[in-house]
Amino acid sequence: MPAPGELLAAIAFDGAGLVPVIAQDARTGTVRMVAWANEEALTATLATGAAHFWSRSRQALWRKGESSGHTLAVREVRIDCDGDAVLYLVDAVGPSCHTGATSCFFRRVGPDGALETDDGPPEPPALVLARVAEVIAARRRERPEKSYVVSLLDAGFEKINAKIEEEAGELAEALPAGDAAHTAHEAADLLFHALVGLENAGVSVDLVFAELQRRFGTSGIDEKAGRKK
């Protein structure tokens, strides 16, 4: 990570020399926790890549997970427009709240105004693709008995590609039929088998996400024309 000088100069620390830090899961967008940092904590974070904070109660530097093992590896450090708040984009190991919840924000206001408890803010629906890809990869590693995924991976591309072609055909038939539930079912089947194919090919779904992100702001016609033959 970079040296802290420019970052520290841009931060508007409060009278106690502190700034609030939000830890946000880099992959899911879930806000994991909020704590405080001073110059020492920010410097340690940049130097090690591990989330460090300043404890106001103990008046001491602390690294997230030093006792629990529930660490936060920091991908990026960002500051807001006024320089009075810091954002850590993190890869989290285990829950981030001392209560055992995934996020410290595990209480929400219900429809009747009462506080309700869950595990934290919900993940974006689109993240399910990455979750399914993780399960498929786990099936390859763990090889449980009677696993459909394992049977596909063991059979190789001939069977996987045949299923992809089959599911693509079924989706094409469902699209004009006007049955939203059935169409969604067929689309899910196609996406699932495509993810199995990616796993068998050793292609991370993150590469697919990165490619889709790259195409934003580019005309589909121009993008196709620019592809290598």
pLDDT, the chain, mean: 94
Region 210-225 average pLDDT: 79
Question: Fold match between 5-117 and 125-223?
Answer: no
Band of residue 229 on the pLDDT scale cut at 50, 70, 90: low
What pLDDT, on a 0 to 100 scale, did the predictor assign at position 226? 72
Place of tokens 């038939």: 173
What pLDDT, on a 0 to 100 scale, did the predictor assign at position 21? 98
What pLDDT, on a 0 to 100 scale, did the predictor assign at position 124? 84
What pLDDT, on a 0 to 100 scale, did the predictor assign at position 12? 97
Indicate the domain borders of the chain. Answer: 5-117, 125-223
Q: What is the CA radius of gyration of the chain?
A: 23
33 Cβ partners below 8 Å, 6+ apart? 22, 23, 64, 96, 97, 103, 104
Q: Please, what CATH class does the domain formed by 5-117 belong to? A: alpha beta
Region 124-145 average pLDDT: 92
pLDDT per position as a tens digit, 140-192: 999 999 999 999 999 999 999 999 999 999 999 999 999 999 999 999 999 99
What pLDDT, on a 0 to 100 scale, did the predictor assign at position 3? 67
In the beta sheet, which residues pair with residue 219?
Answer: none
Q: Which residue has the higher pLDDT, 156 or 217?
A: 156
Residue 44 has φ and ψ, to the nearest 5°, of: -65, -40
Q: Which two tokens stand for residue 229?
A: 């033959």
The strand ranges marked E within the chain are: 19-25, 31-37, 52-55, 60-63, 72-79, 86-92, 107-109, 115-117
What pLDDT, on a 0 to 100 scale, did the predictor assign at position 37? 98
Q: Are 140 and 199 in contact (CB under 8 A)?
A: yes
Nearest residue to 45 via CA among 103, 86, 85: 86
Band of residue 97 on the pLDDT scale cut at 50, 70, 90: very high
- pTM surpassing 0.75? no
Q: Which residue has the higher pLDDT, 215 or 63?
A: 63
What pLDDT, on a 0 to 100 scale, did the predictor assign at position 27? 86
Q: Which two tokens stand for residue 82?
A: 């006024």
Region 90-113 average pLDDT: 95
Q: Is the pLDDT of residue 222 over 90?
A: no
Query: Which CATH number does 125-223 carry?
Result: 1.10.287.1080
What pLDDT, on a 0 to 100 scale, did the predictor assign at position 227? 66
Q: Are 26 and 89 in contact (CB under 8 A)?
A: yes
Region 20-27 average pLDDT: 95
Q: What is the DSSP string of 117-165?
A: E-SSSPPPGGGHHHHHHHHHHHHHHH--TT-HHHHHHHH-HHHHHHHHH
Region 27-31 average pLDDT: 90
Residue 190 has φ and ψ, to the nearest 5°, of: -65, -45
Nearest residue to 159 via CA among 192, 205, 196: 196
Separate counts of helices (H) and strands (E) for the chain: 8, 8
Q: Is the pLDDT of residue 110 over 60?
A: yes
Nearest residue to 88 via CA among 130, 43, 136, 34: 34
